[in-house]
Amino acid sequence: MENFNFHVTTDIRFGKDRLAELPEVINQFGKKVLLVYGGGSIKKMGLYDKVMEQLKANDNQVFELAGVEPNPRVETVRKGAEICRKEDIDVLLAVGGGSTIDCAKAVAAATLYEGDAWDMVLQRRKFQGPALPLVTILTLAATGSEMNNAGVISNLSTNQKLGVGSPSMLPKVSFLDPENTFTVSKYQTAAGSADILSHLMENYFKRTEGTDVQDFVSEGLMRSVIKNCPVALKYPDDYDARANLMWASTLALNGLTGNGKTGSWSCHPMEHELSAFYDITHGVGLAILTPRWMEYALNDETVAKFAQFAWNVWDVEERVPMMAARIGIQKTYDYFKSCDIPMTLPEVGINEEKFAIMAKQAVDHNAIKTDAYVPMDVSDVESIYEACLTESSFV
């Protein structure tokens, strides 16, 4: 296990009926609030009115940044930063899923950044500037952005989708009410669950040895998602299913399962190119890629970890490691498919036309060629994309 720091100071307010605490939380930071949200679903579900009721009763001055995209765009970040500077905003309140929170993080930092917002994003993890305080109210279990210090921003003019983060972007307080996810569609529930599983798998499949704690926590969280996603799909207002998905989302990417393990993620860099060029749902792209990447990464050196994954996550009974590993990959594929997630690229409108440029950018923008669990060059990434054109079988 590698050395690491673990200092995640987000104040989590988990459970139902916690919004009465919002004024006390906001008052820690000031009275001028930028409310950030997406396409209007929070208005349909009544959450917008509940939040505004609390803020108005608290005599907050509220400004709005509405219409945050599912893959938040740098233009929206610029717009939000302009509002913050003009109105001298004290605190941002992001109400929505990971895209909304990611956008709010970038706005909070871009407001205090002297250059253009995209120049800030291009610094990636090297960016260490300050940010305005951020409070979040989560409405989708997926990204874990409510308790980490990173976000992903898209620039459609350059076909780039890049992560940026610094300690200053960590939310100060996050409200996690599972009831706010009752109205999430089946498609987005499944896609969000795939995103959670991918975060866990990306941290699970790394070269660092001696990480039993991180690996066993990851296995337990994966089992929780696998159990509860189908329940939430069948019974959208099942509180316990939604609660377990929400808490798994948060714990999957707050450092608990990744700290002490080094190396580049594998599937996220490839998926970021898919959604940068085609603006597809992030979790769906990850679900499509993950089993094909697993098949690529399975070899004599990695078989022990893949077999462990099969035995401990999927309860595979086969004891021959290579065969158990393949069964585990097949179960991963079949699970995503059983959740009605499209499992080929043509189903989401993607063909081979841009594979070469996407593969090149995946390698250029990340360390997957040198630092991934199993290194990938441009031709390897292209081969994985190609494997996603048709249905697959792994055993």
- Written as six digits, the tokens of 87 are 């109105």
Residue 97, Cβ density class (10 Å: 0-12 exposed, 13-18 middle, ≥19 buried): buried
pLDDT reported for residue 109:
97
Of the candidates 319, 289, 324, 318, the residue with the CA atom closest to the CA atom of residue 303: 324
Using the predicted structure, report yes or no on whether residue 207 has a pLDDT greater than 80: yes
pLDDT reported for residue 74:
96
3-state SS, one letter per residue, for 107-136: HHHHCCCCCCHHHHHHCHHHCCCCCCCEEE
Q: Where are the domains of the chain?
A: 11-180, 184-387
Q: Which residues pair with 388 in a beta bridge?
A: none
Count of residues for the chain? 395
pLDDT mean across residues, the chain = 96
Superfamily holding 184-387? Dehydroquinate synthase-like - alpha domain (1.20.1090.10)
Are the CB atoms for 10 and 174 separated by under 8 Å?
Answer: yes
Average pLDDT rounded to a whole number, residues 67-74: 93
- Amino acid at position 366, single letter: N
* 124 confidence band (pLDDT: 50, 70, 90): confident
Query: CA 20 to CA 354: how far, in whole Å?
Result: 49
pLDDT reported for residue 236:
97
Using the predicted structure, report yes or no on whether residue 255 has a pLDDT greater than 80: yes
Using the predicted structure, report yes or no on whether residue 40 has a pLDDT greater than 90: no
Class of domain 11-180: alpha beta
CA angle centred on 237, ends 234 and 239, rounded to 5°: 110
The pLDDT tens digits of the residues spanning 4-19 come to 999 999 999 999 999 9
Are the CB atoms for 99 and 136 separated by under 8 Å?
Answer: no
pLDDT reported for residue 156:
87
Query: What phi-psi label fits residue 15: left (phi over 0), alpha (psi between -120 and 50 degrees) or beta?
Result: left
Backbone φ and ψ for 275, nearest 5 degrees, come out as -80, -20
Of the candidates 326, 203, 219, the residue with the CA atom closest to the CA atom of residue 264: 203
Of all residues in the chain, what percent carry a pLDDT higher than 90?
94
Of the candidates 244, 224, 335, the residue with the CA atom closest to the CA atom of residue 287: 335
Are the CB atoms for 179 and 140 separated by under 8 Å?
Answer: no
CA angle centred on 259, ends 256 and 264, rounded to 5°: 120
Sign of CA dihedral 275, 280, 284, 287: negative
Using the predicted structure, report yes or no on whether residue 39 has a pLDDT greater than 90: no
Of all residues in the chain, what percent carry a pLDDT higher than 70?
100
Query: CA 391 to CA 343: how far, in whole Å?
Result: 7
- Prediction pTM value: 0.95
DSSP string, 302-346: THHHHHHHHHHHH-----SHHHHHHHHHHHHHHHHHHTT---SGG
How many CB atoms sit inside 10 A of residue 395's CB?
11
The pLDDT tens digits of the residues spanning 211-235 come to 999 999 999 999 999 999 999 999 9
Query: For the chain, how far is it from start to end, CA to CA, in angstroms?
Result: 33
pLDDT reported for residue 183:
95
pLDDT reported for residue 126:
83
Alpha-carbon separation of residue 227 from 193, 217, 220 (angstroms): 11, 15, 11
How does DSSP classify residue 363?
H
Using the predicted structure, report yes or no on whether residue 125 has a pLDDT greater than 90: no
